[in-house]
Amino acid sequence: MDLRRSIPRTDVVLADPALAAAIERLGRPAVKAAVGQAQAAARRGEIAPGEVVAAAVRELPRGLRPVLNATGVLLHTNLGRAPLSAAARAALHTAAGTCDVELDLATGGRGRRGADAVAALREAVPAAGGALAVNNGAAALALTAATLAAGREIVVSRGELVEIGDGFRIPELLEAAGARLREVGTTNRTHLRDYAAAVGEDTGFVLKVHPSNFTVSGFTHSVSVAELAGLGAPLVVDIGSGLLAPHPLLPDEPDAATTLTAGATLVTASGDKLLGGPQAGLVLGAAETVERIRRHPLARAMRVDKLTLAALEATLRGPVTPTRAALDADVAELRRRAEALAAAVAGEAVPSRARVGGGGAPDVVLESWAVALPERLAAALRRGEPAVLGRVERGRCLLDLRAVDPADDPALAAAVRAAVA
């Protein structure tokens, strides 16, 4: 008997519950195409007729998949950096429909776009007279340069001309915005006199960049924000990581409130790092200067959508974010969780060292606990449902719990058991 005759018909396969549910999510054409590919594989003898449904499910477009972050890196760029809080996720759901993003419901007239998010930023950083959100941290700095220094000079230390993600470099970003760089000092030592000698009538602003993803140690010298603020030129400080106020575990990480209080004209930062919110670039500082930046023609090209504005406001006004919870996690509680998980999956609870990640606090080590498993399980865990990303270290797969929500511990245990099986 020709087994190909037993290949199920398309309508029968589409009626399977797994594929019927997929039709609701992806639409009938995409699911039907996946079924056709699975049936073709069965005709070629690559799979048995009874495997058509499973093969069709595997052929479906996956889109983004949820991943449990057990790497010990709190802000993992490849995993989308900061996971949003429950409040931010709920705000996204509201904003996904029609909403008052640019409407004053009291008057029925046009309102200021994202006014609630801007107000939340100013509440979080009282030293900021004005606030603006654009689509990422690089956009915040580029828009600032285009507004304040197009055709003029930006005075910056050579030791702060950093490269950010994916090969993008601060000097190239600023030059693309129409500014000229006036480099001062050396890689390891820059003094106030170096800046003072460079500041003149052609200075758009003085720029201080926090080298958030590396450190220079040894024979070094840099100039403080308070000292630079006395030069008479506008001072822009790119703090990078989005820390709005000081945190005891991050003594060397600059924050927006302290930087503005020390005399900075503007602070630029990211929203999806230590702030724990959606991808966004923040501009905080002098109200008149922020308003000039908001009115620049390029601001329209860099503005954020309603989803980002909603998530940003909810992050600022809502409960503790997952990022802050992970940063503040109690080490004794991490050990208890690791021991419980290890007992459930026949692993070993071991001390671990976590990191902030996301280009922030490169020297900070966060004490943590992990479950050690055989290295061979790392690949199976990545392919599981849900996917789990640990880290391979010294021949073991370590599942660090600092960045894992305690509510996800049962799902993590189930994923390990499935990988073992």
Q: Is 374 helix (H, G, I), strand (E, B) or coil?
A: strand
Q: What is the per-residue pLDDT across 190-199, written as a single tens digit (0 to 9) for each?
A: 999 999 999 9
Residues 6+ positions from 175 with CB-CB distance below 8 Å = 181
Amino acid at position 54, single letter: A
Between the CA of residue 46 and those of 9, 30, 32, 57, 383, what are the distances in Å? Answer: 17, 22, 19, 16, 22
Q: What percent of the chain has pLDDT over 70?
A: 98
- DSSP string for residues in 243-274: --S--TT-TTS--HHHHHHTT-SEEEEESSST
What's the CA gap between 170 and 156, in Å, rounded? 10
Chain position carrying tokens 């640019």: 102
Find out whether 72 and 403 touch, Cβ atoms under 8 Å. Answer: yes
Interior angle at CA 113, CA 111 and CA 116, nearest 5? 90
Mean pLDDT across 152-181: 89
- DSSP string for residues in 138-204: HHHHHHHHHHH-TTSEEEEEGGG--B-GGG-BHHHHHHHTT-EEEEES-SSB--HHHHHHH-STTEE
Within 345-406, strands assigned E span 348-357, 366-374, 387-389, 391-393, 396-400
What's the start-to-end Cα distance of the chain, in Å? 35
Q: Is 233 helix (H, G, I), strand (E, B) or coil?
A: coil
Q: Answer positive or negative: Cα dihedral of 364, 366, 367, 371.
A: negative
Provide the pLDDT for residue 212.
63
Task: Mention the CATH class of domain 86-319.
Answer: alpha beta
Provide the pLDDT for residue 369.
98
What's the CA gap between 136 and 282, in Å, rounded? 8
What's the CA gap between 182 and 200, in Å, rounded? 11
Residue 1 has pLDDT above 60, yes or no: no
Interior angle at CA 215, CA 160 and CA 175, nearest 5? 20
Among 199-213, 291-305, 323-337, where is mean pLDDT lowest?
Answer: 199-213
Return mean pLDDT, the chain.
93
Domain boundaries, the chain: 3-57, 67-79+324-420, 86-319
Maximum average pLDDT range among 58-67, 86-95, 236-245: 86-95
Tokens of 379: 């690949």
Please state which of the four CATH numbers 3.30.413.10, 3.90.1150.180, 2.60.40.10, 3.65.10.10 is assigned to the domain occupying 67-79+324-420: 3.90.1150.180
Mean pLDDT across 283-294: 98
Provide the pLDDT for residue 294.
97
Provide the pLDDT for residue 240.
83
Question: pLDDT category, 170, cuts 50, 70, 90?
Answer: confident
Residue 145 has pLDDT above 60, yes or no: yes
Find out whether 309 and 114 touch, Cβ atoms under 8 Å. Answer: yes
- Number of neighbouring beta carbons within 10 Å of residue 61: 11
- Closest-CA residue to 175 (of 207, 199, 201): 207
Provide the pLDDT for residue 61.
87
User: Using the 8-state DSSP alphabet, how is residue 221 labeled?
Assistant: B
Tokens of 414: 């189930």
Q: Is 78 helix (H, G, I), strand (E, B) or coil?
A: helix
Amino acid at position 357, single letter: G
Mean pLDDT across 321-343: 97
Do the strands 67-69 and 387-389 form a parallel or antiparallel pair, or are they unpaired? parallel
**134 - beta bridge partners?**
281, 303
Provide the pLDDT for residue 2.
58
Q: What is the per-residue pLDDT across 191-234, written as a single tens digit (0 to 9) for each?
A: 999 999 999 999 999 999 987 666 777 788 899 999 999 999 99
Provide the pLDDT for residue 304.
96
